[in-house]
Copies of this chain bind each other. A is one copy, B any other.
Amino acid sequence: RPSSPASFRPVTVAMGQSQSYWASIDAKIEDHLKKSIPIRPPLEVFEPMQYLTLAAPRTAASALCVAACELVGGHRDDALAAASAVHLMHAAAFAHEHLPLTDRARPKPVVHHQYSPNIELLTGDGILPFGLELLVKSVDPARYNSDRVLRVIVEITRAVGSQGTVDGQYREFLCTQSNGDELCDAGWVEYTCEKKEGGLHACGAACGAILGGGNEEEIERLRKYGLYVGTIQGMLHGVGRNKEGMKEAADKLRALALKELDIFSSRKTEPIASLVQATLVNA
């Protein structure tokens, strides 16, 4: 059995007291994922599925889903299935992004490949619907949450689909295959980060707010907060990491992000606000 990956390598939030807040959420999501994908026969299906799920670098988008749910008054457990689904979508996209396709002249930074390309392709194709199945199974007739779950499914399918993550991956692909830099200017960086990390974080935050019973304004405010946080994440740690001017652009987005939280009491927003600080501190 392949050694299980350094499990779930959380982005450490070097922000003291908030650090334990995010760490506790990460631990709960990881536990929920491991329980949802137990290693059982057929091993050639579930071993790669658990491995590729936990091997994908953690995305704060799933923890943000839980934090947003709590911020609007929901219970942490109400958002666990959605937070796990967000991570599963991210893991499927990550696995496919590093596939050795014949037309990828310049491969992405090398990642460790535990399985053959065909297994990684097929497992990614299996993880995506599984994430949505997990979500639907979280419907609880006693809590009349089916309409909220349906709304979350649309949020997720849109965020990861052709106008979300897939569009961001395509833009990134175009730049890695182009020789000149004129294609990959600052505008391209922000657009790509918005589509990739930005969209996933926006989706996570919005889903948490929906499941926590937030009103429409709270849902949209948290969506925008997530969009800014994720875009900053991409600019500083993703495709923009070696580009000039990213820190300054990120600072502007940080201010916009914090502004979105101003309808909530500052005492309650402290944990969630720490995410945008941490994303900058870790730059």
Binding site for B on A (CB under 8 A): 42, 44-46, 49, 92-93, 96, 99-104, 116-119, 121-130, 132-133, 136-137, 139, 146-147, 149-150, 153-154, 156-158, 160-163, 165-167, 169-170, 173
Contact = CB atoms under 8 A, between A and B. Distances in A.
Contact of A128 (B45, B129, B154, B167): B129
A150 B93 CA distance: 24
Contact of A161 (B117, B129, B150): B129
B128 A156 contact: no
A26 B122 CA distance: 29
Given A102-B102, A121-B101, A136 B116 contact: no
Nearest to A42: B167
Nearest to A132: B157
20 contacts: A45-B162, A45-B163, A45-B167, A45-B170, A46-B162, A49-B162, A93-B125, A103-B116, A104-B118, A121-B121, A123-B162, A125-B165, A127-B162, A129-B132, A129-B161, A132-B132, A133-B158, A136-B153, A136-B157, A146-B146
A107 B159 CA distance: 33
Contact of A96 (B125, B146, B149): B125
Q: Which of A100, A127, A136, A169 has the most CB of B within 10 A?
A: A136
A136 B133 CA distance: 13
A45 B171 CA distance: 11
Contact of A133 (B96, B117, B125, B157): B157
A157 to B, nearest CB: 4
A57 B96 CA distance: 24
Q: List the 7 closest A-B pairs by CB distance, nearest first.
A: A126-B162, A129-B157, A133-B157, A126-B166, A101-B117, A129-B161, A100-B102
Contacts of A100: 101-102
Which among A119, A126, A154 has the highest number of chain B CB atoms within 10 Å? A126
